[in-house]
Structure 1
Amino acid sequence: MIKIKNLTKTFGTQNSLDNISLELNKEDRVIIMGQNGAGKTTLIRSILGQYIPTSGDIEVSGFNPFKNRVDTISKIGFVPQLPPPIKLTVEELINFAVKSSNIDKDEIVELCSKMDLDIKSHFRKIFFKLSGGMKQKLLIAIAIAKRPEIFIFDEPTANLDPKGRESFYEIIKEYSKNRLTIFISHRIEEVSNMVNRKIELDLGKVVLDEKI
Structure 2
Amino acid sequence: MADLHTPLLLIDTSTQVCSVAIASSAGVISQRVSYEGNSHAANVGLFVSEVLTDAKREGILPTAVAISSGPGSYTGLRIGSSIAKGICFGMGIPLIAVPTLEVIAEAARSIVGEDWLLCPMIDARRMEVYTAFFDSTGRALTDTVSAIIDADSFVEELKQHQILFVGNGTEKCRPFIKGANAHFVDEVIHPLAEYMFKPAFLRMQTSQYEDVAYWEPFYLKDFVATVAKNKVIH
Fold shared per TM-score above 0.5 = no
Give the TM-score of the pair, scaled to structure 2: 0.23
Higher relative contact order (CA 8 A, sep 6+): 1
Give the TM-score of the pair, scaled to structure 1: 0.24
